[in-house]
Chain A
Amino acid sequence: MPGIRAMTPGRLASALCAATVLLAAGPAGADETCQSPYMVKITGVEDFVYVWTLGVEGLGDGSDKLVTVDAREGSPTFGRPIHAVPVGGRHEAHHGGFTDDRRQFWAAGLSDSRIFIFNVADDPAKPRLVKVIDDFVERSGGAAGPHGAYALPGRMLIPSLSNRDGTGRAALVEYSNEGEYVATHWLPTDAAPNGATIEARADGYGYDARVLPRRNVMLTSSFTGLENYMRPLGDLMKDAEAMKRFGQTMVVWDFHARQPRTVLSVPGVPLEIRWAWGPQNTYAFTSTALTSKLWLVREDGRGAWSAKAVADIGDPSTLPVPVDISLSADDRTLFVDTFMDGTTRVFDVSDPDRPRQIYEKKIGAQLNMVSQSWDGKRIYYTSSLLANWDKTGAENEQFLKAYTWDGKALAPRFAIDFTAERLGRPHMMAFGAASLYGK
């Protein structure tokens, strides 16, 4: 039987030390929230914001690129793009993430399934492209559309959105930090539930994947396949059959075994997943893009998981399309961006069953990503969703905007017009710091 021995002085000391470490690890630092829990954390203010940016034909070099924005207040280039690494061509740059040691940033392209690996450790102001994975579809056994890049110990977890047929059947694909393929785990379907209990249906779609280590739980969400996300949005919205092919599920996994346990019914396309950080807070939030609701996914006292809608985001009847969300490190404040009205809304989620909107602000004509610092004082926004879904004409604003947040209102720090800078469509943001590498 495990663990039957009474706690020795050594073990007690270890436990006390661990508790102390936890106190020290409280929300006093300044890294970005909403990161992999396995990843090294910035303990000072971020120096840089890396922006994975879609290229635009005829704008600058037209290539997807990783842009470094100087976030060092007092720097002569504060609030300016100071470096860009073009990767050559356009690949529908979308999301990305650091390895657990934070020495590499992996950035994925949704259209041709390429993954670009940048070294951010040698010169954090000037990332360097060191490897391109161009056989993702072949090595994974048919997964396509690599979406995020989520740090696991010594490995990266890449949730796909699609497959070689372009439909929404998706997989989770693992690579070693060295960029070598490790394994593929397909999302469960009604036909192949892989042992999962299914609430309503298992559509097999994928989007985000995030782990709550202390419960050995991974949660995944669901979007749509390549055949949909590469189509012009206006065209797609008129296609009633195509609009049926969007995710309606979230999957609770036994993370260690990589086995699905429960397929939850979350209609309306659940996208970003944010686990609460508190040691007793065994829940996550997500937002649904097509039904404009906040959902709470929670474990009960018996170890069963369920999902329920807990708030509307804006007026769902106007289809605001919630996109990125960001939960503060103290689990009290949730930022929710809506693409169509370019607005960020702030919810008090201290009672997760009853989120209450406390603030809203229009950031631009369109809005997608939001990243906040660990201390909750600095908030960054970008504008682009997908090349074919971004607005057109004068409403096609492409920006990174930085604000301070005092708990009541956003105040501007700086803004960068990515079109005027001839950079492209800014999407995923990630924080960098020279201190991580002893620099």
Chain B
Amino acid sequence: MRPAPLLGLAALGACAASLAHTGLAPNVLAHEGHGHPPRAEAGAPFPIPEPGSYRLPPIKPAGGGRVLDEAGRPRDLLDDARAGGVTVLALIYTRCGDVCPLASADMARLQDLAARDPAAARRMRLVTLSFDPEHDTPEVMRSFAAAWRSADPAAPAWAFLTAPGRAELAPILAAYGQRVDAGPDGSLSHLFRAFLIDSGGRVRNIYSLDFFEPALVLADIRTLLLEEAGSGAARGR
């Protein structure tokens, strides 16, 4: 299981960092929320649509590119996606003092939730990619992973990746439309997005933090798996 105390420290640290710079990095505060409360622990705050009952039209090609795993081994970002199944990709940096810890907590909840559905868990994976390669070395990502990743063998795989450098990172960020601007205090201003990627390497949904509801994401994953199996009503185009 995930080491809760370390998890708590990570989140509290993130919260403190958030407070230290007046709440939120000035460029990342979204209108989102309409007063959205902290994510409910006990289920989604609204009915989740039945997997396969709706479409997830392809939005654009997912971007690949050279990245490093936690052991420093080079690989392509889309290696696993091309092997089949469904990928949820979250773009963060570990020093992030506001939205990234919340997003990582949601990824953790998604991992826990999916662990209860072994058939889905086997055919999906979570990927967290840092856009801060100078700081987020493979060693840092390995340590970060230890705080967030579940040790439950039934849980889906969760890879924590980083880029070898800015040159390798730039085309990946461009492919996902992810703008990252360095602030004067060293913070990286960004709008959090996560991406649902199908086995054909296509982006099928894009989530803001406000809509990164684990039960909803899992419904999307199941929808794509049904589509992949040819048994669902859902189709791309």
Cβ contacts under 8 Å, B30 to chain A: 37-41, 100
Cβ contacts under 8 Å, A214 to chain B: 33-37, 45-46, 210
Q: Are A183 and B32 interface neighbours, CB within 8 A?
A: no
Cβ contacts under 8 Å, A14 to chain B: 11, 15, 38-39, 101-102, 105
Q: Are B32 and A21 interface neighbours, CB within 8 A?
A: no
Q: Give CA–CA (A212, B36) in the complex, Å.
A: 10
Whole-angstrom distance from the CB of B131 to the nearest CB of chain A?
14
Q: Give CA–CA (A101, B5) in the complex, Å.
A: 35
Q: Is A202 an interface residue (CB 8 A)?
A: no
Contact of B181 among A20, A36, A437 (CB under 8 A): A437
Given A2-B113, A11-B105, A214-B34, is A20 in contact with B15 using a C-beta cutoff of 8 Å? Answer: yes
Cβ contacts under 8 Å, B54 to chain A: 254, 256-259
From A74-82, A274-282, A352-360, give the one contacting chain B.
A274-282
Q: Give CA–CA (A436, B215) in the complex, Å.
A: 32
Q: Give CA–CA (A153, B28) in the complex, Å.
A: 13
Given A11-B105, A18-B38, is A2 in contact with B27 using a C-beta cutoff of 8 Å? Answer: no
From A126-134, A158-166, A173-181, A396-404, give the one contacting chain B.
A173-181
Residue of A16, A38, A254 with most chain B CB atoms under a 10 A cut-off: A38
From B55-63, B64-72, B75-83, B156-164, give the one contacting chain A.
B55-63
Q: Are A24 and B191 interface neighbours, CB within 8 A?
A: no
Q: Are B45 and A2 interface neighbours, CB within 8 A?
A: no
Cβ contacts under 8 Å, B55 to chain A: 183, 258
Count residues of A near B (Cβ-Cβ below 8 Å): 73
B219 closest partner in A (C-beta): A256
Contact of A101 among B12, B33, B41, B177 (CB under 8 A): B177
**B183-203 to A contact mask, C-beta < 8 Å, 1/0:** 100000101010100000001
**B40-55 to A contact mask, C-beta < 8 Å, 1/0:** 1111111101000111
Q: Are B15 and A16 interface neighbours, CB within 8 A?
A: yes
Q: Is A3 an interface residue (CB 8 A)?
A: yes
Q: Is B132 an interface residue (CB 8 A)?
A: no
Q: Give CA–CA (A270, B153) in the complex, Å.
A: 53
Q: Is A411 an interface residue (CB 8 A)?
A: no
Residue of A3, A100, A178 with most chain B CB atoms under a 10 A cut-off: A3
Q: Are B33 and A17 interface neighbours, CB within 8 A?
A: no
Q: Is B14 an interface residue (CB 8 A)?
A: yes
**Contacts across chains A and B counted by CB atoms under 8 Å:** 228
Q: Is B206 an interface residue (CB 8 A)?
A: yes
Q: Are B12 and A22 interface neighbours, CB within 8 A?
A: no
Cβ contacts under 8 Å, B14 to chain A: 13, 17
Cβ contacts under 8 Å, A44 to chain B: 26
Q: Is A420 an interface residue (CB 8 A)?
A: no
Whole-angstrom distance from the CB of B99 to the nearest CB of chain A?
8
Given A22-B33, A154-B206, A257-B54, is A13 in contact with B12 using a C-beta cutoff of 8 Å? Answer: yes
B110 closest partner in A (C-beta): A2
Q: Is B10 an interface residue (CB 8 A)?
A: yes
Q: Are A10 and B10 interface neighbours, CB within 8 A?
A: yes
Q: Are A257 and B53 interface neighbours, CB within 8 A?
A: yes
Q: Give CA–CA (A3, B34) in the complex, Å.
A: 23
Q: Give CA–CA (A3, B213) in the complex, Å.
A: 11
Q: Is A231 an interface residue (CB 8 A)?
A: no
19 contacting pairs across A/B (C-beta < 8 A): A2-B113, A9-B4, A10-B147, A11-B11, A13-B14, A14-B39, A18-B38, A19-B37, A19-B38, A21-B98, A22-B33, A38-B31, A154-B177, A214-B35, A217-B46, A257-B53, A257-B54, A435-B27, A438-B27
15 further interface pairs, Cβ-Cβ under 8 Å (given A14-B105, A40-B28): A2-B215, A4-B42, A6-B41, A14-B15, A14-B39, A16-B38, A17-B14, A19-B38, A21-B102, A24-B24, A37-B33, A38-B31, A153-B207, A153-B208, A153-B211
Task: Give the interface of B toward A (CB within 8 A).
Answer: 2, 4-12, 14-15, 18-19, 22-24, 26-47, 49, 53-55, 57-60, 98-99, 101-102, 105, 108-109, 112-113, 116, 147, 177, 179, 181-183, 189, 191, 193, 195, 203, 206-208, 210-211, 214-216, 218, 237
